[in-house]
Chain A
C-alpha cells in the first residue's frame, strides 16, 4: 500500500453515519462498483459525480458512526476516495476500513485548517499532512499493528502471509 497520498479535499462535519455513507437500501448488493455509485448519497446526492480518484474526505468527530456494515468503507474506496481524515472515528468503521486496506487517519483540528478543494499530501507512516501553503500538520502515526495490516493490503492478505509463514 502507498503510504504517501495526494488528493483534493471534501469536507464533512460531525456524526457522518454509515446511513449517510451507504444507505440501507443498497446493502442487498455486495458489488463494490454498485456500492461506490451511491457513496455519501444521504449526505450529498451529487457526491460521486464530483469525486475524482485519489480525493480525500476531511471530517470532524465520530465519522462512520452507526452500523457495522463493511459496505461503508467499501463504497468510499470504490468511489475513488483514497483516505478519510477525521478528528475521531467510530470504532467499527475504523476497524473495517483498516481491514479492507483503506487508510483512515485521526488528525484533530485539520478540518478547520483546510478548504474544500484544497490539495493535501499525506504521509501515513511519518504522520503528517502537507497543506497547500506548504505548512505541515502532524498527527499520531498509525500504530505498528495497524500499519502492518495496511501495508499488507488488508487483513486477508496479512492472514494469508501469516499462515504461509507458519507452515513454512
Chain B
C-alpha cells in the first residue's frame, strides 16, 4: 500500500478504500457535520431534495454564532427556523443562545472532533478542527443540505503541502505570528485546493489553543484542510473535553508524498501583522508600529480562547485603553466567557475601559457588535482583512496576535507587545 499523507489516510477511511491518490474523486462518509446560521440557507434545498429526515442527527452539531443575540427581526426569524428544525429532526447537540459559541471553538471544546475523522462544517474556518488530527473542510449551504440528506460528500483527494516550523520564538510571539509568516510565504492562494500538514518542534511544543490558530488560518492560504498530527497534547485536550477514549495517534506515513515542503525557522522571530487589504500582506510589527488606530478587536475563532484573553489581560491589567480608542473583547464561546469571569479577566478588560461582549462572530465578518466606519483603522485578532470585511470598505484592518491587539489598544497605535 502506498505511503499516505494524513489527508489521504482519512479520506481513504471515509470513502472505504484501502488507499487513495491525489486527484481521485471519492464519496466520503461524513463523521461530523456542523452548522451555524448557514443552516437557515440550507433548509430550502434540503426540503427540495425530498428527504424528510436527516441521515444521522447524532452526527450533527448546530449552534448560532454569526449574529448572537439577533440584531434584527430577519435574523431572529433565521434563528427560529434553525431551532424548529433541530427540535423536529432530533439534533440533540443544538447549542442555543446562552450555551452557544463560535462553532469551530464549540466543537473542539466540547470534545466533538476526534483524530482520524472526516469533519465537514458550513463555514470557511472549519479548517481549525484539523488541529485535532481530523480532515476538516468547509462547504456552503446547498452542499450542507446534500450532506444532511445523504451523509456523504464528493471529494477530490488533495495533494498535501508540508509546513515544518522549527526554532524558539521571541517573547510574546505565538502561533498567530507564525501562521501570518506562513501566509506571507505562500500567498493567500498558495495552498488552494491543497491540504496542509504542520510538523516541526515549534508546532509539537504548541498547546492546543495555539495549534487551533495555526489550522484556522490555513483557510487564508486557500487550503482545503490544515492538519496537525495528533499526539499526547491532543490526548490530554480530548480527556479534558470529556472525550476520553476518542484519541488515536495519527500522522502521515513515513515516505508519504508531499507536493511541496516549506521549512520555516522561527528562531527569535517577533510579532507579525497582516496589513490592509490582504492577509498575505504581512510585515514585522516594528515596520508598522506607530500606525494610529480607532479600534482594537479581540475576538473570533482565530484568537479569542481563554489563553488569548489571559495574554491580553497580562498586558492590560491595571492599565487603561488609550483616549479616542475603543476596545471590544468578544470570547470565542460562552464557556470561555464564564471562565474569563471566574479568572477576573473580564474585570481587567472592563476596568481598562474595554467592552466585554457575549460570544459571537460579530464584527469579524462585518455583521454587528462593532463594525467599522469609513477611514477607521482597526487592529484585530481575527483572520481576514479584505476590503469591507469588518464593515466599511474604506476601513483599514490590521491583523495581529492578542498580545499585539492589547498593547496597541493601550497606546492608541500599533505597538510591539514586547516593548510594553
Known: A42-B388, A99-B143, A160-B50. 14 other contacts (CB 8 A): A17-B386, A17-B389, A19-B366, A23-B366, A23-B388, A27-B365, A67-B365, A69-B38, A88-B192, A92-B124, A95-B140, A96-B140, A155-B146, A156-B145
- Decide yes or no whether A100 CB sits under 8 A from chain B: yes
Q: With a 10 A CB-CB cut-off, give which of B49, B142, B189, B222 has the most chain A CB atoms.
A: B142
> 1/0 contact trace for B176-216 toward A, CB 8 Å?
00000000000011001100000000000000000000000
State how many angstroms separate the Cβ of A12 from the closest Cβ of chain B.
13
A68 x B122 contact (CB < 8 A): yes
Q: Are B393 and A42 in contact (CB under 8 A)?
A: yes
**Residue numbers in B under 8 Å from A27 (CB-CB):** 66, 365, 367
CB-defined contacts of B123 to chain A, threshold 8 Å: 67-68
Contact with B along A52-91 (1 / 0, CB 8 A): 0000000001100111111100000000000000001011
For residue A20, CB closer than 8 A to chain B, the reply is: yes
| Number of residues of chain B lying within 8 A (CB) of chain A | 48
Contact B366 A91 (CB under 8 A): no
Please tell me if the beta carbons of B142 and A92 are within 8 angstroms of each other in the complex: no
CB of A17 within 8 A of CB of B192, answer no
Expressed in whole angstroms, the minimum distance between the Cβ of B398 and any Cβ of chain A is 16
* A28/B146 contact (C-beta < 8 A), A23-B388, A62-B222, A66-B384 known: no
A119 to chain B, nearest CB (A): 29
**Complex interface: chain A residues within 8 A of B74 (CB):** 28-29
Known: A25-B371, A66-B124. A90 touches B222 (CB 8 A): yes
Could you say which residues of chain B place their CB within 8 Å of the CB of A62?
A: 188-189, 192, 222
Contact of A99 among B38, B50, B142 (CB under 8 A): B142
**Per a CB cutoff under 8 Å, which of A19, A30, A91 touches B40?**
A30
A156 to B149, CA, bound (A): 10
Residues of B within 8 A of A163 (CB): 49-51
B223 to chain A, nearest CB (A): 9
Chain A residues contacting B124 (CB-CB under 8 Å) are 66-68, 92
Collect the chain B residues with CB atoms within 8 Å of residue A43's CB: 387
Give complex CA distance A10, B92 in Å: 47
Whether A145 sits at the interface, judged by CB under 8 Å, is yes
Q: How large is the interface on A (under 10, 10 to 19, 20 to 34, 35 or more residues)?
A: 35 or more
Min CB distance A148 to B, Å, is 11
How close is B122's CB to chain A, nearest CB, in angstroms?
6
Most A CB contacts (10 A, CB to CB) among B78, B123, B126, B222 go to: B222
Query: CA–CA, A131 to B78, complex, Å?
Result: 45
Beyond A62-B189, A65-B188, whether A24 also contacts B367 by CB under 8 A is: yes
How many A-B contacts at CB < 8 Å in the complex? 130
Is there contact, CB below 8 Å, between A160 and B49? yes
User: Once the chains bind, are A91 and B224 in contact (CB under 8 Å)?
Assistant: yes
Find chain B residues with CB under 8 A from A154 CB.
142
Chain A residues near B138 (CB-CB < 8 A) = 68, 92
Known: A30-B41, A90-B192, A159-B150. A24 touches B366 (CB 8 A): yes
Residue with the highest number of chain A CB atoms closer than 10 Å, among B140, B143, B193: B140
What are some 29 contacts across the A-B interface (CB < 8 A)?
Answer: A15-B386, A19-B388, A19-B389, A20-B387, A24-B366, A24-B367, A25-B391, A27-B365, A28-B74, A29-B74, A30-B41, A42-B386, A42-B388, A42-B393, A62-B188, A62-B222, A65-B222, A65-B386, A68-B126, A71-B41, A90-B189, A91-B224, A92-B139, A96-B140, A96-B143, A143-B25, A155-B143, A156-B145, A159-B49
Asked whether any CB of chain A lies closer than 8 Å to the CB of B258, the reply is no
Q: Give Cα A42–Cα B78 distance, bound, in whole angstroms.
A: 25
CB of B303 within 8 Å of the partner chain: no
Known contacts A29-B74, A62-B189, A90-B222; A23 and B393 CB within 8 A of each other = yes
Q: How far is the CA of A95 from the CA of B139 in the complex (A)?
A: 8
Which chain A positions have C-beta within 8 A of B67? 28
Partner of A70, one of B49, B142, B154: B142
Quick check: B386 and A61 within 8 Å, CB to CB? no
Instruction: Answer yes or no: B278 CB below 8 A from chain A CBs.
Output: yes
Contact A15 B388 (CB under 8 A): no
Q: Closest 8 CB pairs between A and B? A: A24-B366, A42-B388, A70-B140, A96-B140, A62-B189, A17-B386, A99-B142, A24-B365
Cα separation A70 to B124 with both chains bound (whole Å): 11
Q: Residue-by-residue, is B68-85 near A (CB-CB < 8 Å gives 1, otherwise 0)?
A: 000010110010000000
B98 in contact (CB, < 8 A): no
How far does the Cβ of B69 sit from chain A's closest Cβ, in whole Å?
14
**Is there an interface contact between A68 and B367, defined as CB atoms closer than 8 Å?**
no
The yes or no answer to B374 lying at the interface (CB within 8 A) is no
Beta-carbon contact of B222 and A25 below 8 Å: no
